[in-house]
Amino acid sequence: MAVTLSSRLISVSRKLGNALIKSVFIAQAANLGHDMDSDRPTKLEFAVQMTCESCAEKVRAALEGKPGVKLVSIDVGKEEVLVESSLTSTEVQALIESTGRRAVLKGIGGSEQDLGAAVAMLAGAGSIQGVVRFLQLSEEHCLIDGTVDGLEPGPHGLHIHTLGDLTRDCLRSCGEHYNPFSNQHGGPADSERHVGDLGNIVAGPDGRASFRLEDNQVKLMQGRTTSVGAVTLCLNRRETLVKG
């Protein structure tokens, strides 16, 4: 069953010893959950520093022929690169910037009609920062594309909690995992799970976790099953995905 969250305050927390690192951001809409990595292509629009056709050719060479990347167009005059890809936006940006040119993601879109999108910026005290983008690909599928920096290397469990109270930490003031249907705890691919059970994201040796997921429970469209106000999104130690 799908759940929709209206515009709300979300924060990402990470318990490191006795310190709680918090990052607060606003999401326009969505409930968060995922059941699979996504190989469905999306269109990415980048602003890229280019002054001549030689610049464009270097960008073209960096993108063309790469697995999961289809170069759509390059406009030197507008300093714009349009790419269709099944890679994360961060991975495509890295390919472009491998040419020595700075690239900034301006937009992300699907191949179907505009069904909704949202951007969540992670920023605040501590070292954790990043961005998560939501794109409703169809009425059944939503893309979640994100990058989080400043994490300890390894897997991190990602959960939605029921309350938006960050005065203490995820365990003491944020409530239980968001579970409006009283389901058992499970993994993101399980038929029965808490809506707040998002599974693991994995940070590399550099502390960065990049992910591109697709979920059939996420709905950015208005008027869906349930609307929820302030909640909390927490990063914890590795999620065991034990049911019950």
Closest of 3, 8, 31 to residue 229, by C-alpha: 8
Tell me the pLDDT tens digit for each residue of 84-140: 999 999 999 999 999 999 999 988 887 666 777 777 666 555 687 888 787 888 888
**Pair 142, 129: CB distance under 8 Å:** no
- pLDDT the model gives residue 76: 96
Q: CB–CB of 183/194 below 8 Å?
A: yes
Fold of the domain spanning 8-38+113-236: Immunoglobulin-like (2.60.40)
Rounded Cα distance between 239 and 2, Å, is 22
Which is nearest to 120 in space by CA: 104, 135, 109?
135
At 3 the pLDDT is 37
How confident is the model at residue 243, as a pLDDT?
52
- In whole angstroms, what is the distance from residue 190 CA to residue 52 CA? 51
What does 39-96 look like in DSSP terms, one character per residue? Answer: ---EEEEEEE---SHHHHHHHHHHHTT-TTEEEEEEETTTTEEEEEESS-HHHHHHHH
From 196, 210, 220, select the one nearest 131 (Cα to Cα). 210
The model carries a pTM of 0.67
Q: Which helix (H) or strand (E) holds 106?
A: strand 103-109
pLDDT at 244: 45
Domain ranges of the chain: 8-38+113-236, 42-109
Q: Is residue 8 a contact partner of residue 231, using CB atoms and an 8 Å limit?
A: yes
Q: Are 188 and 127 in contact (CB under 8 A)?
A: no
Whether 133 contacts 153, CB under 8 Å: no
Contact (CB, 8 A) for 22 and 170: no
Fold of 42-109: Alpha-Beta Plaits (3.30.70)
Instruction: Report the pLDDT value the prediction gives residue 19, as an integer from 0 to 100.
Output: 29
The pLDDT value recorded for residue 192 is 85
| pLDDT value for 205 | 97
Contact (Cβ atoms closer than 8 angstroms) between residue 156 and residue 49: no
Tokens, residue 35? 């059941």
Q: Mean pLDDT in each 10-residue stretch from start to end of the chain (244 residues)?
A: 34 31 31 55 93 96 94 93 94 96 89 72 68 82 86 81 64 73 82 76 92 76 41 55 50
